[in-house]
Amino acid sequence: MTDPNRSGAVPHLVVIGAGPAGLAASVAAAACGVRVTLVDSAGEAGGQFYRRPAPGLRARRPQALHHQWRTWERLKDGLDRYVRAGCVRHLTEHHVWCVERRGEPDRGFTVHALLGPEQEGAAEVRADAVLLATGGYEKVLPFPGWTLPGVVSAGGAQAMLKGALVVSGRTAVVAGTGPLLLPVATGLAAAGVEIAALVESADPKAFVRQSRALAAQPGKVAEGAGYAARLLRHRARLLARHTIVEAHGTERLEAVTVAALDASGRVRPGSERRVPCDTLAVGHGMLPHTDLADTLGCRLDGPAVHVDDEQRTDVPGVWAAGETTGIGGSALSLAEGHIAGCSAAARLRGTEPDPGAWAAAARVRARLRAFSAALDSVYAPPVHWTEQVTDDTVVCRCEEVTGGAIREAVAELGAGDPRTVKLLTRAGMGWCQGRMCGPAVAGLAGCELAPSRRPFARPVPLGILARAGEMDHQ
Amino acid sequence: MSKRLTCNVVVVGAGMVGAACALYAGRAGLDVILVDRGPVAGGTTGAGEGNLLVSDKEPGPELDLALLSGRLWGELAQEFGEAVEYESKGGVVVASSPDGLAALERFAQGQRAAGVVAEPVAGDGLYDLEPHLAPGLPGAVHYPQDAQVMPALAAAHLLRASGARLLTGHTVTDVLRAPDGAVRGVRTDKGDIHAPAVINAAGTWGGELAALAGVRLPVLPRRGFVLVTEPLPRRVRHKVYAADYVADVASDSAALQTSPVVEGTAAGPILIGASRERVGFDRTFSLPVVRALAAGATRLFPFLERVRAMRSYLGFRPYLPDHLPAVGTDPRVPGLYHACGHEGAGIGLATGTAHLIAQTLTAKTPDLDLTPFRPDRFAAEAM
Ligand SMILES: Cc1cc2nc3c(=O)[nH]c(=O)nc-3n(C[C@H](O)[C@H](O)[C@H](O)COP(=O)(O)OP(=O)(O)OC[C@H]3O[C@@H](n4cnc5c(N)ncnc54)[C@H](O)[C@@H]3O)c2cc1C
Ligand SMILES: Cc1cc2nc3c(=O)[nH]c(=O)nc-3n(C[C@H](O)[C@H](O)[C@H](O)COP(=O)(O)OP(=O)(O)OC[C@H]3O[C@@H](n4cnc5c(N)ncnc54)[C@H](O)[C@@H]3O)c2cc1C
């Protein structure tokens, strides 16, 4: 699998995604002597986790917002060193819209990207192997009022914090479910935002049931406890086993109604209360980005890319690491990225990789996968969340499709899965291609969320599509 | 096994063809049950486009069926128009060279004799019809009878109006037959349904259903990709495609080569479709195929260069070796009717097919001669 376009015989690995997984993979692969091109849509390396304040903001202590700043500095130094040495090329603002598997005789791959913030130019990179480290995206379930200005996703709030340093003096409610809510609330509080409530639908008793798996991760539990303690110091109210019922406001968000959940996961009548706020950060967990893998023909397990012990997908020459293979936090992404980088480099050089070389990372991976499986069983949206979606709640924001329209398609027109709901209502046909409303549509249709096929990971101008593959590869 | 169901007719397949059959049979006074293993429009009907074309058909039985179907679609439009996004927008077939234009006009001449309205359009008139077409095209033929619907909505609304009982999530596992060989109904994974007539509207899987009844019907998949753009204000008014005859005079019948059909939709996106390949049921994305669609569309409409493709999807057209559907009774199995194998025209041809089937079911003389569509016409051939 050598690149016919290069004179040297050094094999070429393209890593897509410069988050923790992609960075760890690039550094590991470069250390093993393969040529690496690291491609990311963002302007700087870091991914979701190491998103840093824009340099122009001259944040005095960005590390205050990051508890793993040292790891980041080590990775970043490693990357810089290999870039200077010419072993790694880092392409920023490259939005990959498709990875093409070239046929015989040359095999290999072509990575097709759109350039710049407007995504108008085109670039192609040829590779002997690709490593997908595209991370995940947030899942947000709808409720009445969720489209009001002032309602943001938990990740959106976090990005505001890390990227642009949010303005203080606001009153926020953080709601939904999942391990991200605590760090988001703590971060907002630290930036001077008053946290009126943290509303988590999970049942604290469920943590007790999972205590063994959780206790196996003392560091992680302590991290959570630390967040909670810091939050309480800011006098935030923690409401476990509660949910958002509605967001209120005319022009923008003014208040939310929260309510307690009963044992069956339904809103307990009479428990509703109104909490004034101007910001609502809401999130219901994360989902893996699988578009590029799916189009390459890689097998998916449920919502995630399937990989073996070496982080190989079932398509020869394609590795995957980090949250594209399952949501598990940055430390798991780092471990998987390291293993994937080592394996890919060895195999590209025609040698059988030695798993002993990554034994430590493999142990971390095993531990953290067990931990995140335990978290998954604890953090869950309310079982009956769809009851909160009124018929006039907009579910698909791009196409403005309501809960009522989706229910009608299922009950009266014979739709039975997200694809037929989409065909009969247009839910999921808009700009985001159902990334936002997919889980909600599946829930309202009463079926499992299956990743929908998106051959283009980004919308691509037809002129660029018409000439894809014709570029000169110097 | 749950309770036993009975009716006059069981339709297998909740695609466009099955839905139309349910509507026409129901309106002929029959009690219909429609079964599908998946949801409504979950098969090829939900994976294609909704062009109702006469323009692309040469004179012959398929064109006759298309003309009948077009009239019936026009009637249904009175009733369902908005709900199924019916638009009688007409088609424009563009020639890219003077020779091509001459050949296109000869083709149109033959169609006119069969009852097609085909109006010649000279160079400048073309830009009145379609202002954003590439400059310098010699001319075109305008087909006002071409129309379109949104297939999934059409199937769902026709089905709802049919009054048929709908059983989704029921897989037909056998065709029940009496000792004399006549159809008694179907067996599903959730129980038996008894009826003296069974309609095979299983589309690309129609061959498998025929096999359950012990007969051969060689329906095969033909893959097609469609490209969908971001929503735009209306800039493409008709269904537009380029036609050129292969200049290969060696063959006696010139094959019509078409570039992708470019059409605006009620909802705003432009659809560009569709490719044709025989690759079995291969769902792998093919960039070269989709690239060819994009190239064909941007050649016709240069403004599309900067318009973004949002997605691409694929489906498997049900085709029979002679490219005609199987429509009518199966002489080999009394009570078995076929309505499948419509290839790339099953949406357009659904109404005529269903009308003819309903006539046959109620012992009326069908409006068209069904001989060319006989389901047993392949019996002698090797598989
Ligand atoms: C609000 C929030 C708070 C969090 N808090 C914590 C925490 O406290 N502790 C913790 O351990 N984890 C936390 N996480 C999770 C952590 O961010 C992730 O686990 C980690 O970033 C995953 O790393 P990754 O490399 O797999 O993916 P990512 O960091 O998501 O990186 C993926 C990269 O791929 C790029 N990419 C994706 N698709 C394309 C494409 N088509 N073309 C080009 N580039 C592409 C993206 O731009 C991105 O840079 C938090 C996450 C969020 C959203
Ligand atoms: C890319 C593309 C573009 C197209 N463009 C056009 C166009 O512009 N105009 C046009 O007229 N046509 C077009 N077509 C063709 C058209 O889509 C088909 O001819 C039409 O959808 C066939 O409809 P159908 O009802 O026969 O089959 P389907 O819609 O496939 O329905 C068959 C149903 O039978 C069910 N079924 C099968 N076996 C069983 C079983 N054992 N038990 C229970 N249920 C079963 C299936 O689940 C399925 O729902 C296009 C096709 C493609 C792929």
* Per-residue pLDDT at A386 exceeds 90: yes
* The two structure tokens encoding residue B93: 């077939």
Confidence at A22, pLDDT banded by 50, 70, 90? very high
Q: Write out pLDDT tens, residues A189-203.
A: 888 889 999 999 998
Q: Do A462 and B309 touch (CB under 8 A)?
A: yes
Query: What is A236-297 written as a DSSP string?
Result: PPEEETEEEEEEE-SSS--EEEEEEB-TTSSBPTT--EEEE-SEEEEE--EEE--HHHHHHT
Distance, in Å, from the CA atom of A251 to the CA atom of A330, rounded to the nearest integer, reads: 37
Predicted confidence at residue A155, as pLDDT, reads: 84
CATH of the domain at B269: 3.30.9.10
Q: Which atom of ligand 1 is nearest to the CA of A154?
A: 1
Residues of A in contact with B169 (CB under 8 A): 416
Three-state DSSP state, A11: coil
Predicted confidence at residue A225, as pLDDT, reads: 66
Q: Do A423 and B152 touch (CB under 8 A)?
A: yes
Of residues B76 and A64, the one with the higher pLDDT is: B76
Q: Is residue B52 part of a domain?
A: no
* Per-residue pLDDT at A158 exceeds 90: no
Name the region of A298 (left: φ>0; alpha: ψ -120 to 50; beta: rest).
beta
Q: Write out pLDDT tens, residues B122-147.
A: 988 999 999 999 999 999 999 999 99
The total domain count for chain B is 2
Distance, in Å, from the CA atom of A340 to the CA atom of A320, rounded to the nearest integer, reads: 7
Most B CBs within 10 A among A462, A464, A467, A470, hence the mutation to make, goes to: A462
Predicted confidence at residue A58, as pLDDT, reads: 42
* Per-residue pLDDT at B267 exceeds 90: no
Query: Between helices B151-162 and B16-27, what is the axis angle to 10°?
Result: 30
Same domain as B135, residue B98: yes
The total domain count for chain A is 3
Q: Is residue B75 part of a domain?
A: no
* Per-residue pLDDT at A17 exceeds 90: yes
* Per-residue pLDDT at B363 exceeds 80: yes
Same domain as A181, residue A130: no
Q: Is residue A127 part of a domain?
A: yes
Same domain as A292, residue A250: no
Q: What is the mean pLDDT of residues A263-279?
A: 94
Same domain as A330, residue A226: no
Q: Which of B270, B175, B273, B279 shows the shortest CA–CA distance to B222?
A: B279
Predicted confidence at residue A169, as pLDDT, reads: 67
Interface size A-B, in CB pairs within 8 Å, comes to 120
Whether the CB-CB separation of A172 and A202 falls below 8 Å is answered with: no
Q: Is residue A364 part of a domain?
A: no
Same domain as B282, residue B340: no
Q: Which of A411, A407, A427 shows the shortest CA–CA distance to A419?
A: A427
Q: What is the mean pLDDT of residues A409-413?
A: 95
Q: Is residue A375 part of a domain?
A: no
CA distance B46 to chain A (A): 7
- Domain encompassing residue A314: 4-137+287-353
Question: What pTM did the predictor assign?
Answer: 0.92
Q: Write out pLDDT tens, residues A336-361.
A: 999 999 999 999 999 999 999 999 99
Q: Is residue B62 part of a domain?
A: no
Q: Which atom of ligand 2 is nearest to the CA of B42?
A: 49
Confidence at A4, pLDDT banded by 50, 70, 90? very low
Q: Is residue B78 part of a domain?
A: no
Q: What is the mean pLDDT of residues A404-420?
A: 94
Q: Which of A284, A306, A329 is the last residue of a domain?
A: A284
Same domain as B206, residue B130: no
Q: What is the mean pLDDT of residues B71-90?
A: 95
CATH of the domain at B182: 3.50.50.60
Same domain as A242, residue A145: yes
Q: Which residues pair with A319 in a beta bridge?
A: A131, A312
Distances (CA, A) of A230 to A85, A155, A196, A204, A221: 43, 20, 15, 19, 14
Three-state DSSP state, A37: strand
β-pair type (B220-229, B32-35): unpaired
- Domain encompassing residue B170: 5-47+152-219+322-373
Pocket test for ligand 1, best of A65, A217, A330, A367 (most atoms within 8 A of CB): A330
Q: Is residue B381 part of a domain?
A: no
CA distance A161 to chain B (A): 31
Same domain as B176, residue B310: no
Q: Is residue A358 part of a domain?
A: no
Most A CBs within 10 A among B285, B300, B347, hence the mutation to make, goes to: B285
Same domain as B309, residue B165: no
Q: Is residue A109 part of a domain?
A: yes
Q: Is residue A361 part of a domain?
A: no
CA distance B299 to chain A (A): 10
Same domain as A183, residue A251: yes
Q: Write out pLDDT tens, residues A36-56.
A: 999 999 999 999 887 655 544
Same domain as B244, residue B140: yes
Residues of B in contact with A424 (CB under 8 A): 40-41, 152-153, 156
B108, burial (CB in 10 Å: exposed 0-12, middle 13-18, buried 19+): buried
Q: What is the mean pLDDT of residues B89-95?
A: 94
Same domain as A144, residue A225: yes
Is the complex ipTM higher than 0.90?
yes
